[in-house]
Amino acid sequence: MTLVAGSYEKFIWGFSLKTLNPNPDSQTLTLKPLFSYPSHTAPIKSVAAAGPVAASGGADDAIRIYDLSSSSEVGALLDHQGAVTALAFFSSPLAPSVPRNLLSAAEDGAVCIYDADPFVHLKTVPVVHRRGVADLAVHPSGRLALAVGRDASLAMVNLVRGRRSFSCRLDREASIVEYGGEGGDRFVMVADERITVHDSEDAKLVHEIDGGKKVLCVASGESGLLFAGGEDRCVTAWDTSSGKVAYSIPDAHLTRIKGVVVFKGRNDAPETPKLVASASSDGVIRVWDVRMTAKEKSIPLAEANTKSRLTCLAGSSIK
């Protein structure tokens, strides 16, 4: 399992989650540093990881590609004319360890589509006319993507035809969009402290959730759970079927949480711990076993301090 984090100081950080004790009843985990260096010439705004590959997007308009198996940078993509605000890999369910495509969004208002083997630019799709794209999410089918704009818009991109197929205005500017549920049958949008859950078929509002304080990051988990973090410094798992809190890790960090990653359990090993990683703006990355949330105080299984201002976090379950 690998974690990749970006920082305001232009550094990219890579960690491998290692098991020190093979005994499953008393496993000890550690975050082993893989690499850290200034990969961009401006703050890093987004990261993504899938299988042995990771990518970072910066305010320098560039996307950097990394080979996690060799802990090295292998190239750059320079097709945007604005800060790269969001990245997402698509992998076929039949081969989840092999990313098929990379999608990127930027302040230039466009979404770029790349082949991931090798990294070749396929298409640039204009999505937002003003103020750029804030975030994007790829449907598990790989046939479409959603993008939210800083002009308070929601757009759907047809990835088969490579064009915008739908766009509408929102009542509030959304900063995050994420697919969830079973097979992507639902998607969520985040606007400050509000999380809205929608049906993917017709975008109908299913639930409206009050996060209390501003939500800065989300990650979809199993069984319809949505993990969120932000200004409240907690990692909260919301049940998107009921719109209620499933469980929470209070005071997970000392400062606001800027990134959450969910590691899915292996189907062939049901006893595998269900792990969640979180990163805060003070540079601390922590890994949690969500099965321990019933205890009075959850203790992280592993921790690393980058001593930098982290802005984003991504992870790959493939060793």
List pLDDT tens digits, range 161-219: 999 999 999 999 999 999 998 888 999 999 999 999 999 999 999 999 999 999 999 99
- Side by side, the strands of the sheet bearing 163-169 are 133-138, 144-149, 153-158, 163-169
Question: What pLDDT is recorded for position 169?
Answer: 94
Q: How many whole angstroms separate alpha carbon 240 and alpha carbon 196? A: 9
Give the model's confidence band at 39: pLDDT under 50 very low, under 70 low, under 90 confident, else very high.
very high
CA distance 300 to 189: 28
- Give the residue from 72, 68, 44, 141 showing the smallest Cα distance to 100: 141
Alpha-carbon gap, residue 37 to 7, rounded angstroms = 10
Report which DSSP code applies to 244: E
Task: Please name every residue paired with 301 in a beta bridge, in sequence order, or none if there are none.
Answer: none
pLDDT of residue 35: 95
CA distances in angstroms from 155 to 130, 134, 165, 169, 205, listed in the order given: 13, 11, 8, 9, 16
Cα separation, 122 vs 12, whole angstroms:
26
Cut 0.75: pTM above it: yes
